A = this chain, B = another copy of it.
Amino acid sequence: MRARDLACDFPTVTVDTPVYDAARLLAEQDLPGLIVVDGRGLPVTILPGTQVLRLAVPGYCQDDPALARVVDEAHADRFLHALAGRTVREALPAQPRELPITAPDATVLELAALMARTHSPLVAVVSDGALLGAVTLQALLDRAVAA
């Protein structure tokens, strides 16, 4: 079992996608994260779901629980809308050390170690300069449990 056998088609966004649309895609398609691609369709970064959420949380609330607490309930409920028009580009976090991107011949164990190391429930599979698809934590676990 290799990455190529586990990879599925996966929706992508670009750096020009509004943050709200990215969050809606994640919610509506029940995705574990998003792949951000460049103009050639190659992954620029992979965002686990929690980090898509991070794009949508105002900077002053991210690291200080006390500041998130002073926003009243009605405004807190609509936090996604407060960022109308803001794109993924403007909200991208500092590039992580290692991206969850691998080659088609990666084994199940390599995929598992990569997901664990990068805290990403989603690994992009790239071959010859093209995105083949993605392996999700769920797909990996389903096969590992059945093995």
Binding site for B on A (CB under 8 A): 1-2, 23-24, 26-28, 30, 32, 48-51, 53-54, 56-57, 61-63, 65, 68-69, 71, 73, 75-81, 107-110, 112-121, 137-138, 140-145, 147
Contact = CB atoms under 8 A, between A and B. Distances in A.
Given A141-B26, A142-B27, A119 B73 contact: no
A8 to B, nearest CB: 15
Contacts of A30: 138
Contacts of A115: 50, 53
Contacts of A77: 1, 107-108, 143-144, 147
Given A69-B110, A79-B109, 17 more contacts: A27-B138, A27-B141, A27-B144, A27-B145, A28-B145, A32-B32, A51-B116, A54-B116, A61-B113, A65-B113, A71-B107, A71-B109, A75-B109, A76-B110, A79-B112, A80-B144, A80-B147
Contacts of A69: 107, 110
